[in-house]
């Protein structure tokens, strides 16, 4: 039986192909100029095929509501990836036009247009565009551009957009782990809290951690995040961005440790020795996770150290 994700893909395919052939699909530079001379209604009328795709994503977003339709977001990225590899789709459409289309979706509805409403369905084109941009960037080896785009969006005022940025990074990591990790390490040198949060959520995905080497890569990146957190002054730690990062670290460490337990628990033990209140909170939260129950001696040892 066809699942929901596959059903979405079948419906999205003709919409995507029509949008890629739209005469109104401009390059980002040209579109930026057009925005000053065309209001949203006129742009909508000039690009009926692109607008049909946007309308579909909005109509089936499940928003407003507690959860956007993740099957639609994943199905859209799946279909973008399939079209990038499709032998019957020209490179001009799959490479050039696809990038412009995704850029259009990501920038079509700025949060200010819908009052930065975290439940607005108008954010669905941006959500789908971000995740699919990660897929497109990895398929065409534009790793640096993909990481830059997604981490820029990772500092959005909207939490769903921040989640979309992390999901886009996961698509990149799934297709090209080594190159994506290399760019993430470079960005980590001066990343702010929200970017750190996106990187942590990106690498802490069990299907991506297929071997101990990847888990060690993820733990190494987590070390950077924990060191970043430790160095922050007390007043900065109270900001929403840092609290969001800390919340993510409260589960992501355990995901990585479960795939490389011996070095992972040793690293947690080293962090415990820092005697930092926020680092200590992160350790305690991860020790509560069921995925670490397979190693009761390590958990008991670390809990004992946190209590002393």
Question: CA distances (Å), 147 to each of 129, 165, 183, 203, 213, in order?
Answer: 14, 9, 7, 13, 21
Question: CA distances (Å), 160 to each of 76, 106, 123, 196, 275, in order?
Answer: 16, 13, 8, 16, 33
pLDDT at position 62, please?
96
Going residue by residue through the chain (308 aa), what tens digit of pLDDT does each one get? 469 999 999 999 999 999 998 876 755 565 555 555 555 545 544 578 999 999 999 999 999 999 999 999 999 999 999 999 999 999 989 999 999 999 999 998 888 889 999 999 999 999 999 999 999 999 999 999 999 999 999 999 999 999 999 999 999 999 999 999 999 999 999 999 999 999 999 999 999 999 999 999 999 999 999 999 999 999 999 999 999 999 999 999 999 999 999 999 999 999 999 999 999 999 999 999 999 999 999 999 998 865 54
Q: 72 is written with which tokens?
A: 């639609």
Other beta carbons within 10 Å of 261: 16
pTM exceeds cut of 0.85: yes
Q: How far is residue 53's CA from residue 107's CA, in Å, rounded to a whole number?
A: 14
Omega prior to 31 cis, within 30 of 0: no
pLDDT at position 26, please?
59
Question: CA distances (Å), 201 to each of 21, 101, 249, in order?
Answer: 35, 26, 8
Please return the burial class of 275, using the count of CB atoms within 10 Å of its CB with bins 0-12, 13-18 and 19+: exposed
Question: CA distances (Å), 284 to each of 230, 236, 265, 279, 304, in order?
Answer: 16, 22, 13, 9, 11
Residues in the chain: 308
Per the CB < 8 A criterion, the answer to whether 129 and 105 are in contact is yes
Structural element, H or E, at residue 34? helix 28-35
pLDDT at position 1, please?
42
Q: How far is residue 40's CA from residue 217's CA, in Å, rounded to a whole number?
A: 44
Phi, psi of 16 (to 5 degrees): -65, -45
Of 137, 5, 154, the C-alpha closest to 71 is 5
Omega prior to 64 cis, within 30 of 0: yes
């Amino acid at each position: 039986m066809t699942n929901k994700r596959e059903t979405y893909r079948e419906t999205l395919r003709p919409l995507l192909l029509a949008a890629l052939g739209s005469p109104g699909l401009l390059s980002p530079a040209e579109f930026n100029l057009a925005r000053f001379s065309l209001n949203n209604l006129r742009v909508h009328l000039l690009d009926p095929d692109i607008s049909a795709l946007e309308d579909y994503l909005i109509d089936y977003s499940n928003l407003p509501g507690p959860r956007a339709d993740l099957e639609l977001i994943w199905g859209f990225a799946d279909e973008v990836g399939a079209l990038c590899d499709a032998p019957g789709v020209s490179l001009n459409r799959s490479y050039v036009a696809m990038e412009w289309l995704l850029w259009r979706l990501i920038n079509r509805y700025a949060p200010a247009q819908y009052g930065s409403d975290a439940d607005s369905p108008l954010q669905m084109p941006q959500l789908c565009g971000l995740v699919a941009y990660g897929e497109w960037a990895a398929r065409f080896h534009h790793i640096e551009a993909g990481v830059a785009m997604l981490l820029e969006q990772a500092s959005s005022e909207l939490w769903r957009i921040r989640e979309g940025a992390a999901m886009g990074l996961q698509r990149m990591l799934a297709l090209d782990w080594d190159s994506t990790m290399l760019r993430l390490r470079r960005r980590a040198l001066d990343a702010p809290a929200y970017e750190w949060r996106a990187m942590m959520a990106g690498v802490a995905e069990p299907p991506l951690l297929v071997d101990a080497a990847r888990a060690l890569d993820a733990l190494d990146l987590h070390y950077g995040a924990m060191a970043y957190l430790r160095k922050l002054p007390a007043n900065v730690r109270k900001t929403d961005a840092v609290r969001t990062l800390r919340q993510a670290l409260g589960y992501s460490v355990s995901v990585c440790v479960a795939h490389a337990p011996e070095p992972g628990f040793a690293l947690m033990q080293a962090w415990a020795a820092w005697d930092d209140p926020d680092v200590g909170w992160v350790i305690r939260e991860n020790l509560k996770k069921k995925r670490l129950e397979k190693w009761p001696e390590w958990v008991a040892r670390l809990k004992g150290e946190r209590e002393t």
